[in-house]
Amino acid sequence: FTNRDGDNPGKGEILGHFIIYIRSGNTYLCFASKEGGELPPITYRIDRKGGRIAIEAFARGKNWQAGDTIAELRVFLAKDYFQLKDTLRTLYKNKENFANLSFLRWGSGKERLAKDPATGNTSPWIAKTDMPGGFESWYNHYTDINEQLILEDLESLGNTNNLIKLQFIDKNRPTVFQIDDGWEKAVGHWEIDTNRFPNGLKPIAEAIEAKGYIPGLWLAPFLVTRKSPVFTEHPDWVLKDEQGELVVAGYNDLWDKQFYCLDLSLPAVKDYLDGIIDRAINEWGYRYLKLDFLYAGLMHGAFSQGGAAYEHYDAACKILTSRQTTKSGLPVAYLGCGVPFGPSYKYFPLSRIGADTKEQWDWFKVRLVGHVGRPAAYVSLHDTIGRAYLDNTLFVNDPDVVFLRTHNCKLTEQEKEVVALANFMLASQIMFSDDPSQLSEADIALTKRISKLYDELAEDEYGVVRIARDVFHVFSRSGAVQALINLSDRHVRIKRTQVPALFESIERGHPLINHTKGLGKTSAVFERHSITIYRK
């Protein structure tokens, strides 16, 4: 959701932001902009027919002076997917920011040197055994949460053979337990709803810490709804456009329908944001803050103090993430959600990189109206796949949750497999919302199978390329693992000439998970909504 200038493509155009690439075979032509701080967000307007790329800076309201740098761009060629990642990792130097996440285990483990079989060159990476992960309440309960329900989930998380217990708790890996939306009186009114949480949030954080987990909490700090006191008591804090109309930041029928954003140029608003974060961390005891709907901070409006949206966004993010520890010295991490990537990567190295998922493959009614960012497993998977090149380069990619339950879930077993395995191979955080106490014997059997596959796939790094609409070839840096993801609604026949490495692995290796039909020497059929993985 944006009101960014020039964000509507013209006829025959494709728009991209921040980092884009054009691929021909295994060769990538990449355009990468340095954003954040004094540099505005960049849009690429690609005219495929004319063979031109126009580059635009989103800086309305900026008072430019002679000699100012408007943009810094890097244009480079990469000979393959991993050289693309390695070059981005070198350009953006985000490793220092990753170090702040070490208490989640990401980066605290041994750095490995991955060897390129073709060139012999090595590149550092962190094994997937060091991925952060844990439980969050959203994708089962949504806003319908209360103190008793949260404490029941907390108790049962370590008592059943769910994915988080098998992969994190049993292995003594740091484990997040995060309360999502529903604890607050209203969005924009960040006070505890005592009807739902009569004892407040602090005792729950203490109970989470007592279990050895990391307490997490959801907030949407830039948002305000008509139900919140901010809207009525501080109407000047709400961002308006040049005509004096409220700037709409989106719509959510679980809240108060339309919602709005704060005017981040105001010192009082910055103090308000600082107070929200300080209370969550130092008063209530939460050390993993999921900060959502952050794109609202980049909405343009008639700012009270003038200036450009990206300047105010940068200042606000600096405030939101200023606390790296609690007052008692315990480490703190921030998960950015709904972030504009370019202005955010320095502040939110751990970030959601796509649309919300959902406990069903697609949301067909919303699909019909053309909502490309709709909550759906299918859409979320596309984002996880398409932005995998950012993982372990600029971000620790959060792909959203995996689903392994039968209760309150419309995904088939094959669909659960592809979500769980694509998230693991192509991103770097595993979160889970299934009710641990309601897993059936079949759910636990599937969980154990997925957990075993995680262990088998953990010692490699993975890349991905699109070979047909909704069909993707996944491969490991070592060359030992080859896979195919079919997100389409039909079985697809893939020829050997399209992915020779995969067919070589099928012939000489063994399947870790196999959803092929009609396998021949020159082609194979891959089932709909599935992932097939072979190891040499």
Query: Residue ranges per domain, the chain?
Result: 132-218+354-390+399-456, 465-535
The tokens describing 52, both together, are 């031109």
Q: Which pLDDT does position 446 carry in this prediction?
A: 99
- 75 forms beta bridges with 31
Phi, psi of 431 (to 5 degrees): -115, 160
Residue 69 scores a pLDDT above 60: yes
C-alpha span between 156 and 284 (Å, rounded): 23
Do the beta carbons of residue 532 and residue 484 sit within 8 Å?
yes
Give the mean pLDDT of the chain: 94
85 DSSP 8-state letter: H
Cβ-Cβ contacts under 8 Å for 357 (sequence gap 6 or more): 139, 375, 376, 377, 379, 380, 400, 401, 403, 419
Over residues 170-186, mean pLDDT: 97
**Interaxial angle between packed helices 441-457 and 413-426, expressed in degrees from 0 to 180 and rounded to the nearest 10:** 30
The whole-angstrom separation of Cα 83 and Cα 28 is 9
pLDDT of residue 115: 56
The fold of the 465-535 domain, in CATH, is Immunoglobulin-like (2.60.40)
Selection from 165, 170, 199 nearest residue 183 by Cα = 199
pTM of structure: 0.95
Note the pLDDT of residue 228.
95
pLDDT confidence of residue 256? 80
**Tens digits of residue pLDDT in 310-329:** 999 999 999 999 999 999 99
Give pLDDT tens digits for 394-436: 999 999 999 999 999 999 999 999 999 999 999 999 999 999 9
Neighbouring residues of 318: CB distance < 8 A, sequence distance ≥ 6: 347
Q: Distance between CA atoms of 281 and 288, rounded to whole angstroms?
A: 9
DSSP 8-class letter at 24: E
Q: Do residues 456 and 479 lie in contact, with contact meaning Cβ atoms separated by under 8 Å? A: no
User: How many helices and strands in the chain, by DSSP H and E?
Assistant: 15, 29
Residues 6+ apart with CB under 8 A from 493: 518, 523, 524, 525, 526
Length of the chain: 536
Which residues sit opposite 102 in a β-bridge?
none
- What pLDDT does 114 receive? 57
Contact 310, 343 (CB under 8 A): yes
pLDDT at 126 over 70: no
Which two tokens mark 60?
């309305």
Residue where the block lists tokens 């010295």 = 329
- The neighbouring-strand residues paired with 352 are 398
CA atoms of 366 and 255, how far apart (whole Å): 18
Q: 132-218+354-390+399-456 with 465-535: one CATH topology? A: no
DSSP 238: B
Structure confidence at residue 106 (pLDDT): 56
Encode pLDDT of 11-59 as tens digits: 889 999 999 999 999 999 999 999 988 999 999 999 988 999 999 999 9
Q: What pLDDT is attached to residue 103?
A: 94
β-partners of residue 466 are 472
Flag the least confident range among 88-102, 241-255, 280-294, 408-422: 88-102
User: What is the topology classification, in CATH, of domain 132-218+354-390+399-456?
Assistant: TIM Barrel (3.20.20)
So what's the pLDDT on residue 520? 87
The per-residue pLDDT for range 471-523, each reduced to its tens digit, is 999 999 999 999 999 999 999 999 999 999 999 999 999 999 999 998 888 99
Pair of tokens at residue 531? 């992932």
